[in-house]
Structure 1
Amino acid sequence: MLTDTIFEDDRWQTVDFETLAETAAQAALAHIGMEPGQFEVAVLACDDARIAELNADFRDKPTPTNVLSWPAQERAAEDDGDTPSPVVPAFEGIPEELGDIAISYDTCLREAQGAGKSFENHVTHLVIHGVLHLLGYDHIRDKDATLMEGLETAILGKMGISDPYKE
């Protein structure tokens, strides 16, 4: 299994979050041309209070957010719009740890309802977003954002989920 989910908020169980996270992470890696079975991602399914605490600790922003990511290695591209460094497993048969993701039930639900989106589709998008961050993709610089959003849209499209940036 690619994802290892830790539940701190039982409301995530009502939407079969383990399956959503696993499916989204597998789709992201497969789209990039990576074999999902060779990698591992830890996912924390939490609430607004916990993600606000993490956001304060790691980003100095004491407010809730939808998803946070901590890559195991820095892989970002040097030049705006370039593809990040590829991830190659270090040892045959031992999954390479890509990093950790935390996702907040409260913020995801609020955003999905506010945009009139399916909660499950929104969560799928955010897990893909988080996995792409673990792979070195980002959205701070303009061309990087265009690249990352294009990947998200393509991955979601293959999953039958409409472009979240056009809704």
Structure 2
Amino acid sequence: MYNFDNLISRGTSFTLTALNDLNSKVIKELHTKSSTIAVKNLQMIQLQKAILTIGMFSLFESILQERLSCQDGFKEVKKRLIQSGKIELYNRFDDFYCAINVLKHGLGRSYDTLVSKSDPSPFRLKLPGENLFYEGDVSEISTLIEFDNKFVINCAEIIESVTKEIKTEHPVCNF
């Protein structure tokens, strides 16, 4: 059986390295000539990061449901984190859970939850009335969450942390 948390870390590093290399090449190309294709390639790179984070969380949820024998893997994880007194990990996981929902669905309960939190999020959220994260950034695509490399890495790390905690509290769960 593979270790999902280890593969997520490896896969994230591999994918971000490839995307960063491509990003550097496209930016270098833009310094010598302007082209719509280059701008679209920069936007595609950003889109790939969003797809990566949504995909890793979706796969994590399906694995949780299978390994924990439950209908809602994230609900079960949250319950177990609270029961084991891991409130800080619960809060961090919930922030990223909401962020992924915002990336997938846009405005809604998860967005409202993040906007209403008094604690700063570990990522940037586009607040009501904001149009862009960075004026003039041609690579930006329309999302309510800024998903830079740090966000992608943090998503992988929260999956690793939650998996480690589940393994510690419930050693029979094989991830």
State which structure, 1 or 2, has the greater radius of gyration over its C-alpha atoms: 2
Higher RCO (CA-CA < 8 Å; seq separation 6+): 2
- Flag the structure with higher helix content: 2
TM-score relative to the length of structure 1 = 0.29
